[in-house]
Amino acid sequence: MNDLSQASINAFQLLLSGNAEIWEIISLSFGVSFSAILIATPFALVIAFILAFFQFPFRRVLISLFNTFMSVPAVIVGLTLYLILSRSGPLGDLRLLFTSKAMVIGQVMLSFPLLVAMAHASFQAADRRAWETAITLGATPWRAFFTLMYEVRFGLIAAIVAGFGRVVAEIGCSMMVGGNILHSTRNIPTAIALETSKGEFAQGIALGMVLLVLSLSLNAGVSIFQGKGELQA
């Protein structure tokens, strides 16, 4: 008990004193997850919009496919990507395994189905008159798409925040394709898991607090934005 409270005090000191190692891990976590969401979001939004607004063969199949992929465990995504990126794998020559780039790719794969599914729900609930009004007032389809995104922006922001929340906290994929290498691929979840098992409690608790606060606020953010979206409708 005494050990634990001492470790918690040390954890606060680590965070507040600007401990270089811990802040490096935090910034790597953010950097990787932000990049992944930044890359995944534009494609996910366009696909979600097309799935919601146009009729074409296999549309329903695609929608349920994205919904299904949403629940694929992170470690399975990691395993798949590992096999693709490993020396003998199809993309082995790119030498991406155990780099932060591989982590970004993994998180793009992880967040993509969630982004598409949630954005699709927003576009599905959007008013068709918004699209028709933009078009009849002379907007190009591309411009009308942006107008529509603005009209359902709260739902879309909720999707993006939820996507970020999923990837920033996942451990399976980052561990598999990143390898938890200090100064290069160690992010918050892999650091918590491995450093704590080595007896580095203070660091584990400090990073755990950061992740907990982050996850709680992201979840709160999702509900707030979803609530705003409903008020609008």
- Which residues here bind other proteins, judged by CB under 8 A? 127, 129-130, 132-140, 143, 147, 150-151, 232
Nearer to other proteins, 105 or 134 (CB): 134
CB of 174: closest distance to other proteins in angstroms? Answer: 38
CB of 232: closest distance to other proteins in angstroms? Answer: 7
Angle between helices 20-53 and 153-169 (to 10 degrees): 140
Contact 149, 199 (CB under 8 A): no
Nearer to other proteins, 151 or 170 (CB): 151
Nearer to other proteins, 98 or 131 (CB): 131
Nearer to other proteins, 35 or 124 (CB): 124
CB of 50: closest distance to other proteins in angstroms? Answer: 17
CB of 145: closest distance to other proteins in angstroms? Answer: 13
Contact 174, 189 (CB under 8 A): yes
- What separation in angstroms does the CA of 196 have from each of 6, 22, 205? 15, 13, 8
Backbone region of residue 219 per phi and psi (left: phi > 0; alpha: psi in -120 to 50; beta: other values): alpha
Nearer to other proteins, 4 or 137 (CB): 137
Nearer to other proteins, 66 or 154 (CB): 154
Q: How far is the C-alpha of 204 from the C-alpha of 192, rounded, in Å?
A: 5
Residue with tokens 């190692």: 21
Phi first, then psi: what are they for 17, rounded to 5°? -80, 0
Nearer to other proteins, 95 or 143 (CB): 143
CB of 138: closest distance to other proteins in angstroms? Answer: 5
Question: Which tokens sit at 61?
Answer: 């199949």
Give the residue among 218, 221, 182, 213 at the shortest CA–CA distance from 198: 182
Burial status of residue 57 (CB atoms within 10 A of its CB: 0-12, 13-18, 19 or more): exposed
CB of 205: closest distance to other proteins in angstroms? Answer: 44
Torsion (CA) 182, 186, 189, 190 in degrees, nearest 10: -60
CB of 231: closest distance to other proteins in angstroms? Answer: 10
